[in-house]
Amino acid sequence: MAEATRLRALWEKSNHGLSQQVFGEKYGIGNQSAVGQFLRGQTPLSMKAAVGFARGLQCNLTDISPRLALEIVEGSRLLTGEPVPHSLDIGGRGGNVVGIPVEGEVWINDHSVSIDSVSDGGYVVGSGVHEDGYALKVRGDGGSPAIKAGQFLVLERYGNPAFSDYCLVEANSLQTGQALLEFLAKRDDSYSFQTLEGDRLTLASQDVSEIHPVVAVVSPTRWRAPPKTGLLEEEFLPKQ
């Protein structure tokens, strides 16, 4: 949902003055229904749609989808023979280090979280993360000694949480719709969590729409600036 949240914010700030139908036809995204589904996060962003939105909203592709921007960078560097930024050798430690896109900032309170899609972007380096992984920069401590301001939460959109894993949970009954909770158990019709204050919390399964496990908490030294390539600059910067 982070890409859709970012896209909606850009759409609302834009002064293009076009209806969804006209916008979709002009920039090759599709009809009004297709545009609406992308804005609501009901349909995952494709490369074609993201490019169309970037052109129509006069923004950089990285403003909409760091994930797709990284795919562009990878493809262009494979063509030119340059090193691909997310496939770095860490000799002596084994495996590959991946560049995990930073998709926003998170303010953590004891009972809720607030996510802002506006951030410095870039990537944090880590390993063993699913391709749908993303990172959020922490802007406030939430009563947990394991999470501090300035660190980055690395999450997986479709991971399966294990006992005691921190998770970013989205549910209608939560105070702001989202909270950082410790996973305890899943039953047929409910989930059991523990809040950062140590209180037990049970949520009905039908009330929970998203559970993103936190697979790592990494230090600010793992952050890397967004890659810059001629392809990104020429293709996705606003047209004059």
Which pLDDT does position 207 carry in this prediction?
94
The CATH architecture annotation of domain 97-223 reads Ribbon (2.10)
Which pLDDT does position 28 carry in this prediction?
92
41-100 pLDDT per residue, tens: 888 888 889 889 988 998 877 778 777 776 666 565 555 555 444 433 323 233 344 678
What single letter denotes the amino acid at residue 113?
Answer: V
Q: Is residue 115 scored above 70 in pLDDT?
A: yes
- The pTM of this model reads 0.58
Greatest Cα-to-Cα distance within the chain, rounded to the nearest angstrom: 55
% of the chain beyond a pLDDT of 70: 75
| The domain defined by 2-80+227-236 carries CATH number 1.10.260.40 | yes
Q: What is the 3-state secondary structure (H, E, C) of the chain?
A: CHHHHHHHHHHHHCCCCCCHHHHHHHCCCCCHHHHHHHHHCCCCCCHHHHHHHHHHCCCCHHHHCHHHHHHHHHHHHHHHCCCCCCCEECCCCCCEEEEEEEEEEEEECCCCEEEECCCCCCEEEECCCCCCEEEEEECCCCCCCCCCCCCEEEEECCCCCCCCCEEEEEECCCCCCEEEEEEEEECCCEEEEECCCCCEEEEEHHHEEEEEEEEEEECHHHEECCCCCHHHHHHHCCCC
Q: What are the sequence ranges of the domains in the chain?
A: 2-80+227-236, 97-223
